[in-house]
A and B are shown apart, each in its own frame.
Chain A
Amino acid sequence: MSLDFLLHPTSYLGGVSGNLSAYLCFSAILFVFGLIAALSRRSTIGIFMGIELILNAAALNFVVFQVMKKDLAAQNWLHGHMFSLFIIILAAIEAAVALAIILRAFGSKGTINSDRISELKG
């Protein structure tokens, strides 16, 4: 169904703000770029930024499904928004702990390159 906006973009551009698949494609692309960053960056800050991208893609999907689901909108339930809000809060906690670990690793190793922080490697 609705992915044919990729095949005939000009005829579908008019409805892009209401098109579920456009949002899902966007967050899939965001997720994949985050995955690439998390897998291939050697700086731990870069890995952390990739994880942030992945979390953002997931949170966006929750809101999109919430908005597109008619009976949820009719009942004034906001499960999708709540999920996204909790994802944002947990990402903030994760950022605090991750930066503390990075700071500690930099203090003891003098580098944040994940290739050279390898004491836990088996």
Chain B
Amino acid sequence: MSGLDLFVLAMFALGIAGAFFTAFHPNILYASISLIATLGAVAGLYAGLGADFLAATQLIIYVGGILIVILFAVMMSENIYKKRFAAEAKKYILPSIVSIGLLALLFKLLFSADWGELSEISQSQDGVTLQMGQALSRPYALPFQYVAIVLLFGLIGAVVIARPHIGKKRK
């Protein structure tokens, strides 16, 4: 077992544990911290797959963004340290059953599919940042500009939604 295998296994374990607590922890604050662990584990998997640029992007955008989510969760949750999982536990029953059924279906598909040549890794473990930059400047230039416009208008929309309405009647 190589060091890379150990690393990937550790990331799997960290990611699954974090996802479990994200779904099931009664306290939204700890759930957000578990989400950071999961996103960090996915960034580690990107790094293990040789996608170094994506690993850095994941860390910067997601993990930074989730810190803001934690801030929101702390600001807006009432009685954040009160235990109330018992009252809400029954809301988990039906979604859990449905989701575990879906998981069983996905695993069955994975078992039965013939992946053929895809079954073994075929990469060099070199980074791909240079290739990604070249791809973004030529074949993906138009989608890149397009997503920039979407980002601009999304952020304008967020500002418009979030600010207090001007001209509304005040009491």
Contact = CB atoms under 8 A, between A and B. Distances in A.
B77 to A, nearest CB: 7
B interface, over-half SS: helix
A53 B50 contact: no
A59 to B, nearest CB: 8
Interface residues of A, number: 78
A45 B72 contact: yes
Choose among A14, A17, A32, A46 the residue with the greatest number of B CB atoms under 10 Å from its CB: A17
Interface residues of B, number: 85
B77 A32 contact: no
Contacts of A78: 128, 131-132, 135
Contacts of A36: 23-24, 92, 95-96, 99
B44 to A, nearest CB: 11
21 contacts: A13-B9, A14-B1, A15-B5, A18-B121, A21-B110, A22-B12, A26-B45, A30-B15, A36-B92, A39-B95, A40-B23, A45-B28, A45-B73, A46-B28, A67-B50, A68-B121, A73-B122, A88-B58, A91-B62, A95-B68, A103-B72
Interface of B: 1-2, 4-5, 7-9, 12, 15-16, 19-20, 22-24, 28, 31-32, 35, 38-39, 42, 45-46, 48-51, 53-54, 57-58, 61-62, 65-66, 68-69, 72-73, 76-78, 88, 91-92, 94-96, 98-100, 102-103, 106-107, 110-111, 114-115, 117-123, 128, 131-132, 135-136, 140, 143, 147, 150-151, 154-155, 157-159, 161-162, 164
